[in-house]
């Protein structure tokens, strides 16, 4: 099941945050729904814009963070899963080391309009 089929998935066109609310090289979490069934999105700001992923490690389908808004970032370019230390490149979501090597984070396509990060309708990268 892709994230768009998630019961709490926001509709295309939903504003997620302002680009400038995330410092370059940092991540923010955006949650939709309540409890363990909530959909958690990971937003990463790079110099060229914002990348978004489902905040779920492909190793055991757990969030990458064990505490709200607390992420283990490496050189502001990679993120380490809090549970078993898989490392993912934030530019493309690929796992480069650890128990999920070869797998990747599920991308969420977003675009930027007037400084606002918006959920895209399609699956193409913007
Ligand atoms: S759940 Fe992420 S490395 Fe195991």
Between CA 70 and CA 81 the distance in angstroms is 11
Residue 108 structural domain: 3-115
**Minimum CA distance residue for ligand 1 atom 4:** 84
Q: Which atom of ligand 1 is nearest to the CA of 86?
A: 3
pLDDT at 126: 39
Between CA 108 and CA 11 the distance in angstroms is 12
Quick: pLDDT tens for 68-108.
989 999 999 999 999 999 999 999 999 999 999 999 999 99
Q: Does residue 60 line the site of ligand 1, with CB under 6 A?
A: yes
Query: Residue 59: which CATH number?
Result: 2.102.10.10
Query: Does 124 fall in a domain?
Result: no
Between CA 73 and CA 76 the distance in angstroms is 6
Q: Model pTM greater than 0.75?
A: yes
- SS3 state at 36: helix
Q: Does residue 31 line the site of ligand 1, with CB under 6 A?
A: no
pLDDT at 125: 43
Domain count for the chain, please give it.
1
Query: Does 125 fall in a domain?
Result: no
């Amino acid at each position: 099941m892709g994230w768009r089929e998630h019961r709490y998935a926001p509709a295309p066109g939903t504003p997620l945050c302002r680009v400038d609310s995330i410092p370059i090289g940092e991540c923010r979490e955006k949650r939709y729904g309540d409890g363990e069934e909530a959909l958690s999105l990971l937003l990463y700001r790079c110099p060229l814009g914002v990348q978004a992923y489902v905040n779920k490690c492909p190793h055991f389908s757990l969030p990458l963070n064990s505490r709200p808004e607390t992420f283990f970032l490496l050189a502001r370019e990679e993120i380490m899963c809090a549970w078993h230390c898989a490392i993912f490149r934030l530019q493309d979501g690929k796992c480069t080391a650890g128990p999920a090597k070869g797998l990747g984070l599920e991308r969420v396509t977003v675009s930027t309009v007037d400084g606002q990060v918006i959920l895209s309708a399609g699956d193409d990268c913007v």
